[in-house]
Amino acid sequence: MASSIPVRPLIDPFQRSISYLRVSVTDRCNLRCVYCMPEQGVPFVPHQEILTLEEIARIIRVAAGMGLRRVRLTGGEPLVRKGIVNLVRWIGQTPGIEDISLTTNAMLLPSCAHELATAGLRRVNVSLDTLRPERFRQITRRGDLPAVMAGIAAARAAGLSPVKLNVVVMRQVNDDEIVEIARTTQGEDWQVRFIELMPFMEEQETCIRDTSLVPGFVPSQEVKRQIEGALGPLEPAETNTGGGPARYYRLPGARGLIGFISPLSEAQFCATCNRMRLTADGKIRPCLLTDQEVDMKQTLRQGGSDDDLRQRILAALDSKPDAHHLGDGNRPRQRRMAQIGG
């Protein structure tokens, strides 16, 4: 049915164009990474409270009519969600959507990479904080590095390219691998992105107390200095994939790229934000690092029209802050990272 109200573009109060939605399809995960979840896990949202795949697809369809162009599927671990290939196919058939990507730990990719690519997935981001098997097991508490590498190989074989590797840098945990990881871009055509550790609820401190690891914040500029000191100057580089917040560089003659995601140390990080998030239980979250949310699930399940959904999306858009304000002592306290999707 045609809209009875003018379709307002997705422009937030600070004149940023919002074209990118990160969608958490589940809060469940097959790993227990130290900066994300306690070793014993967390109480999961009851299944009936999680959006159905059809509900997710409808929200995306309505948002695409307002200017949404890019969708990233996240979790928890999105590949544990049954029907994920169908969801990718539905999103790919949505008019206006130009790009679909997925963030994963890659453990389950070998069995579904080809199906996902055929359904319309363009590429994957793989969480990979270390290249050392024993350390990988420590950080993830139950992961298997060879399985992840097999998942990366399956993604590349399926044409999900370029593969992006997400490395959360933690002092006294994996900061001694920065150069080793950066060096891989000399021979591989993937994109390594070094991400600053973000403060997120109390479970981060709980995770730290529960392990012998002692994660700590490492600013991107320190990471960059380490790389340049060992491997030579980094040259600014452009990429036409993703539309995310990373700033990219290339080592001289390297096949791949090195990116930096700096939400804490870069004062202008939020100025170009083009994203909102949809949680697994149906809330639109205008900013990852604040607790402001707008409920979409209630509107969906009470028989709301597409116009009603547009109004909820606009309410979320209008509540998007200018920045995260972590420096003022504000930080999210109501949700864990696994419930939002990063």
Task: Please spell the DSSP secondary structure of 97-140, one letter per residue.
Answer: --EEEEEE-STTGGGTHHHHHHHT--EEEEE---S-HHHHHHHH
**What integer pLDDT is reported at residue 288 of this predicted model?**
80
Percent of the chain at pLDDT above 70?
87
**What integer pLDDT is reported at residue 37 of this predicted model?**
78
Query: Span 204-228, mean pLDDT?
Result: 69
**What integer pLDDT is reported at residue 83 of this predicted model?**
98
Query: Span 294-322, mean pLDDT?
Result: 96
Distance CA 275, CA 320 (A): 10
Of residues 233 and 206, more confidence is placed in 233
Considering the chain, what is the average pLDDT of its residues? 89
Of residues 212 and 12, more confidence is placed in 12
Residue appearing with tokens 């730990």: 105
The pair of three-digit structure tokens given for residue 80, joined into one six-digit string: 């544990």
Q: CA torsion angle for 242, 250, 133, 79 (degrees, to 10)?
A: 10
Residue appearing with tokens 């709980």: 206
Q: Which residues pair with 283 in a beta bridge?
A: 295
CA–CA–CA angle 206, 213, 249 (5° rounding)? 105
Query: Span 279-300, mean pLDDT?
Result: 92
Q: How far is CA 150 from the centre of its chain?
A: 21
Whether residue 199 contacts residue 331, with contact meaning beta carbons closer than 8 Å, is answered with yes
Distance CA 135, CA 279 (A): 30
Could you tell me the pTM of the whole model? 0.90
Check pLDDT > 90 for residue 239. no
Query: Span 326-341, mean pLDDT?
Result: 62
- Give the range among 4-8, 29-33, 85-89, 236-240 with minimum mean pLDDT: 4-8
Query: Span 75-96, mean pLDDT?
Result: 97
Distance CA 127, CA 138 (A): 14
Whether residue 143 contacts residue 105, with contact meaning beta carbons closer than 8 Å, is answered with yes
**What integer pLDDT is reported at residue 200 of this predicted model?**
53
**What integer pLDDT is reported at residue 312 of this predicted model?**
97
Distance CA 338, CA 1 (A): 35
**What integer pLDDT is reported at residue 201 of this predicted model?**
44
How does DSSP classify residue 294? E
- Give the range among 36-50, 183-197, 202-216, 320-334 with minimum mean pLDDT: 202-216
Multiple choice CATH, 20-340, 3.40.640.10, 3.40.605.10, 3.20.20.70, 3.40.980.10: 3.20.20.70
**What integer pLDDT is reported at residue 264 of this predicted model?**
79
Q: Which amino acid is at 30?
A: N
Distance CA 286, CA 278 (A): 9
Distance CA 77, CA 206 (A): 21
Name the strands in the sheet holding 283-285, side by side, starting at the edge strand that comes first in the sequence.
235-236, 247-250, 257-261, 191-196, 164-169, 123-127, 99-104, 70-74, 20-24, 275-278, 283-285, 294-295
Q: Is the dihedral of CA 101, 106, 109, 113 positive or negative?
A: positive
**What integer pLDDT is reported at residue 4 of this predicted model?**
54
Distance CA 309, CA 61 (A): 10
**What integer pLDDT is reported at residue 291 of this predicted model?**
81
- Give the range among 87-101, 136-150, 276-290 with minimum mean pLDDT: 276-290
**What integer pLDDT is reported at residue 79 of this predicted model?**
98
Establish how many alpha carbons lie within 13 A of residue 322's alpha carbon, considering only the half-sphere containing its beta carbon.
3
**Phi and psi (nearest 5°) for 188?**
-110, 150
Closest by CA position to 113, among listed 78, 142, 140:
78
